[in-house]
Structure 1
Amino acid sequence: MGLLLVVNLHGQINVRREVRSALREMRVERRFSATVVRDDPSTLGLLDLSRDFVAWAPLNKELLASLLEARGKVSERKKLDGNELHELGFKGTEELASKMMEGEMRLSAVKGLRPFFNLSPPRGGFKVSTRRKFGEGGVLGMNPKLPELVRRMI
């Protein structure tokens, strides 16, 4: 089982209760927030339920390391820096990302690390519609081009 990157691309106005609950469970309640989830049947059920509001794709180690370095927060205002990683025995975000990709660690194992990343709107804007699914020429749902979009949002 691998890891998936989930990004919320819509707010929660006029959203059904089941979808709102699914977004809360995945911890992507705000627009342009992202999180890392495991690729298992229960998570895929949550993603299927909220497919009109989120985009997801398989995660690679380089993107996870850059997310942790640029957008990882230990508290509301303090960024994830080398001190917290050294206390846990890691040399840097690349080592933490590789341990997470191997399944040895989770985001919750890092003491105080927020389990989501607040992203900004993509530089250069969205090239396709944010209201359509990927198969229909949009960005929502299972989207193999999501890592490229997230790099512009970091």
Structure 2
Amino acid sequence: MIAAVRVRGRTGVKKGIQDTMSMLKLTRINHLVLLHEDPTYKGMLVKAKDYITWGEIDEETITQIITKRGKLSGNVNVTEEYIKENTDFSSIEELAKAVVAGEATVEDAGIKPVFRLHPPRKGYEATKQSFKEGGSLGNRGNINELVAKMI
């Protein structure tokens, strides 16, 4: 499972890259989406690499995201009771395991696919350099630390 976070804003973005990010549902800064590892998504991520960061995410972090930042239709917070009553899962942890395994998506549970996060505590490293150059853009391998700072 891959998590992608938009780091940079809308100003000066070329139309093709802007369309790619809207297809990924990354329309604003600090929005996060969960994507399955797929060559199509990988190509889209590489195309938008100057505006987003992405990496592998574990089920513990997905559980925290759904619990703290997950929203239902009508902007209502996700609760354990909702998951038990309206899905085939008995808890948020079980849903997170199914999402990581690729057996389910958050949309299947009625949760909005975009998670709105806070800016990271202690800030980004740099928003104009790639992760390999000491910045915060592009593929970072493991994104759990950044997401934990943003929840």
TM-score by length of 1: 0.92
Deviation at 1:145, TM superposition (A): 4.9
Aligned pairs, how many?
150
- The answer for unaligned runs of 5 or more in structure 1 is none
Give me the whole-angstrom Cα distance separating, in 1, the residues matched to 2:77 and 2:28: 19
Q: Secondary structure at the match of 1:143?
A: strand
Deviation at 1:79, TM superposition (A): 0.5
Deviation at residue 75 of structure 1 after TM alignment: 2.5
Residues 98 and 145 of structure 1: is their aligned pair in 2 closer, same or farther, counting only changes over 3 Å?
Answer: closer
1:95 paired with 2:94, answer yes
| 1:76 positional shift | 4.5
> Relative to 1, partners in 2 of residues 1:146 and 1:59: Cα closer, same or farther, differing over 3 Å?
closer
RMSD value over aligned CA atoms? 1.2
- Name segments (4+ residues, structure 1) moved above 3 Å: none
Unaligned runs of 5+ in 2: none
TM-score computed with the length of structure 2 as normaliser: 0.94
Percent same amino acid among aligned pairs?
A: 28
Match of 1:153 in 2: 150
The residue aligned with 2:123 is 125
Q: Secondary structure at the match of 2:27?
A: coil
2:15 maps to 17
Partner of 2:26: 28
1:37 corresponds to which residue? 35
Partner of 2:141 in structure 1? 144
